Amino acid sequence: QVQLVQSGAEVKKPGASVKVSCKASGYTFTSYGISWVRQAPGQGLEWMGWISAYNGNTNYAQKLQGRVTMTTDTSTSTAYMELRSLRSDDTAVYYCARVNYDSVIDYWGQGTLVTVSS
């Protein structure tokens, strides 16, 4: 069965960076993409970007351009999302999710809470 298992919660100070991992299993990792979506406390879902696990091509939300980097390690079927220059409004649960052949997000990780606080 498809599983996406994310790394644990993080607490960071403003200006720092965070790197969240997402280990995939139960499918051929390089045949699908991975999207990252975040959700601030009590708020809706925000699409952050996408990476092809096949060739590493990326597409980032315009508001995060320059601060976010998505990568994959095909040897371990793991995707990573790094966010730099953290601000308090980056406090959120960060989800990785599989993007299928129809370009739809069909499976989600369990989420990783990132708290940015001084």
Partner 1 sequence: DIQMTQSPSTLSASVGDRVTITCRASQSISSWLAWYQQKPGKAPKLLIYKASSLESGVPSRFSGSGSGTEFTLTISSLQPDDFATYYCQQYNSYFRTFGQGTKVEIK
Return the amino acid letter for 45: L
Where does this chain touch partner 1 (CB under 8 A) — which range of 14-22, 23-31, 69-77, 94-102? 94-102
Residue with tokens 């999302």: 81
Asked if residue 23 lies in contact with residue 115, where contact means CB atoms within 8 angstroms, the answer is no
Residues 27, 47, 52, 58: which binds partner 1 (CB under 8 A)? Answer: 47
Where does this chain touch partner 1 (CB under 8 A) — which range of 15-23, 45-53, 67-75, 77-85? 45-53
Straight-line distance from the first to the last Cα atom of the chain, in angstroms, rounded to the nearest whole number:
40
Separation CA 12–CA 30 (nearest Å): 31
Which residues of this chain interact with partner 1, rule CB under 8 A? 35, 37, 44-47, 50, 59, 61-62, 95, 97, 102-106, 108-111
